[in-house]
Amino acid sequence: MRHNLNAKRWCPNKRHGYVMAIFGVLIAFSLRYILHPFLGGSLPLFFFQINTIVIAYFFGIFPALLTLSLSAPLLIFFFLEPFGAFSVVDQRDVTTLFVYFSYTVLTGALVELLRREQYNAKMAVLVGETRLKLMVEGDQKMRSIMRRSLEKDSSE
């Protein structure tokens, strides 16, 4: 089952994933915004990264990329200094955004591969169980046919 073409279907409801991605960004933003007076400029990515990992785990890489595209402008505007303005980004901001983008893409891809392999393993178990049932049923039929033929031969 190495090349299971249905492995992309491990998440049954992708549309729900996009809605949850938007909702997750709003929750992450709200938490970070509430804690902004205490955190200041530190940990600007923390809640957004957790949201992205959770969305990638439950819904796949594309909803996770949606969280990335929605949270990056929020991150730049609200949580990178100067706060509340789109200003000229310096080297530190570029590094922060590069880390966020690369971390999100890498984590999303790895989680997607993990979930596909999990799905492949489930399918392999189901196929194995079905084959075992068919083998047992076939064996029972063969035994009953052999018993009937032996009974028929012994009665003659």
pLDDT at 14: 74
What does 67-81 look like in DSSP terms, one character per residue?
Answer: HHHHHHHHIIIIISS
pLDDT at 6: 59
Closest-CA residue to 24 (of 58, 54, 60)? 54
Residues in the chain: 156
The set of residues, in sequence order, having a beta carbon less than 8 Å from that of 139 and lying 6+ positions away, is none
Question: What type of residue is 17?
Answer: G
Mean pLDDT (10-residue bins), the chain, 156 residues: 57 81 95 89 86 90 90 84 71 82 87 85 86 87 84 72
The set of residues, in sequence order, having a beta carbon less than 8 Å from that of 86 and lying 6+ positions away, is 76, 77
Q: Where are the alpha helices (DSSP H) in the chain?
A: 14-39, 46-59, 61-74, 91-155
pLDDT at 1: 45
pLDDT at 76: 82
Enter the tokens of residue 66.
């949606």
pLDDT at 2: 55
Task: Report yes or no on whether pTM surpasses 0.75.
Answer: no
- The pLDDT tens digits of the residues spanning 40-49 come to 878 888 899 8
Q: How far apart are CA 139 and CA 144, in angstroms?
A: 9
In 31-146, beta strands by DSSP E:
none
